[in-house]
Structure formats: C-alpha cells, structure tokens
Structure 1
Amino acid sequence: MKSLKFLAIALLAFVGGAASAQSKTDSLKVLGNCGMCKKHIETALKVKGVSTANWNVKTKVLKVSYDPSKVTLDQVQQKVADAGYDTPKYKATKESYLKLDDCCQYDRTGKEQTSH
C-alpha cells in the first residue's frame, strides 16, 4: 500500500513538473500611468496561452507567464500594443492610444515623468 501511495505522489510530481516546464516567464517595460493602465494591460493578456500577467504601476514592468507552444512573446507584445500601450517591440497605433482614458495617456517619448 505504501508503494502505491509513493507511486501516485511521484506521478503527480512528474506531471506537475512537466506542465510547469512548458511555461515561460518574461519581463518587459510597458509605459503607463495608473491603476486603470494596469487593468487594461492585464486584461489585454487574458488570452489562450497566457497564465499570468502582472504590470507594476511604479516600475512600469510587465511580468508575463505563458506557454510558448500556444503564444509567442511577440504576440503578447502585440496584444499590449493593440490595447494602446507601447512595448519594446511594438508601438501602439495612434488610434488605440487615443482610445485610452485621459489618465492613461502616458508620455510616448519614453521619458520618465517627474512631479514638481
């Protein structure tokens, strides 16, 4: 009976390890301003193959975990750009940028904004 339990635990560990081996995590800079930006960026990545997307308002860094057999990092960046936010590889169209809420229209020059 103990060997059967051990075998079941070993099998679950192997299957769990194999599933996580397919996942990849990358970080990239995505300009934005606020909590609404966070919502827009993360919602844009609710697509097949993306398991988690977390954009940090302070650092402007998007951390995304995905299955590269289902979605590529290029596709991830394109989805973010389609939502109106520039990524290192893709720039949002003027139309998608202008659809953002006023508070979300970030400085597109890439310069950090300072408050006085």
Structure 2
Amino acid sequence: MKKLLSLVVALMFASSFSYAQESKVVEAEFKVAGNCGMCKSRIEKAMKIKEVKFAKWDKSAKILKVNYFSPDITVDSLKKRIAEVGHDTDMFNADDAVYAKLPKCCLYRDNPKTH
C-alpha cells in the first residue's frame, strides 16, 4: 500500500512539474489608447489576472508592456480585456457604450491630450 501511495504522489508531482515547464513567460508590447493616471490604473487593473506576471502602461508612449504565461493566455485575449474596460488597442476597439462611460478626462478619442 505504501508503494502504491508513493507511486501516486510521484506521478502527481511529475505531472504538475511537466505542466509548469510547458507554460513559459512571454513578453509583449502593444499600443493602448488613454490619457491620464486614471486610464493607467484601469488598464493595469484589467491585467491583474493570474496568467499575467507583470503589466505597466506608459502614459506618454501609449504602450502597454506585459509579461504573461503562455500558452495559458494569448496576447489577443489580453487586448480584448483592455477593450472591454474602454480602451482601444492596436487590434480591438472599445465598445462605444463602454467608452462613453469613462470619466471625461479619459475620453482619448475626443481629447487625445495626455495629462
């Protein structure tokens, strides 16, 4: 019985170890529209998911740098998450209704000035 239990534990450990090796950290950068610190907070908050290791949006360059675990998630799905909170990316535009609910200072389409 002890041998069987040891074998089961060893197999569980081996399978979890092989899964961990399949996931690798990928670095990506892409354009994300926004104007201010509130935009920065919203954009970075949208990236606070377990698959994302690091996310930082540069307000003046309008570039989001992200380190994420692949193949657990894709860069396209990250861009969709950004669009869902009201910010256009180089691939997906935010829904107009979501964009319209942003604070006035965050309306980058109407007032593209960074502040």
Q: Same fold (TM over 0.5)?
A: yes
Q: Which of 17, 29, 32 is residue 31 of structure 2 equivalent to? A: 29
Instruction: Give the number of the structure with larger relative contact order, counting CA–CA contacts within 8 Å between residues 6 or more apart.
Output: 2
How far apart in 2 are the matches of 1:49 and 1:113?
A: 32
Q: Give the letter aligned to residue 22 of structure 1.
A: K
**Paired residue for 1:54, among 47, 53, 56?**
56
Q: Secondary structure at the match of 1:37?
A: helix
CA–CA separation in structure 2 for the residues paired with 1:91 and 1:23: 26
Which residue of 1 is the match for residue 86 of structure 2? 84
> How far 1:48 sits from its partner (Å)?
2.4
Pairing of 1:1-116 with structure 2 (within 5 A): 22-107=24-109, 113=113
CA RMSD of superposed structures (Å): 2.5
Q: CA deviation at 1:68?
A: 1.4
Distance 1:112 1:105 in 2: 7
Matched AA of 2:76: D
Q: Distance in 1 between matches of 2:91 and 2:64?
A: 14
Give the TM-score taking structure 1 as reference length. 0.74
Residue deviations 1:70-95, cap 9 Å, x none? 11001000000001000011110011
TM-score by length of 2: 0.74
Q: Which segments of 5 or more consecutive residues in structure 1 lack a partner in the other structure?
A: 1-14
Q: 1: CA distance between counterparts of 2:98 and 2:70?
A: 26
Structure 1 or 2: more strand by fraction: 2
Once the two structures are aligned, what percentage of the paired residues are identical?
39
* Count of equivalent residues: 96
Question: Would you say the 8 A contact 1:54–1:63 is kept in 2?
Answer: yes
The aligned counterpart of 1:10 is: none
SS in 1 for 2:43: helix
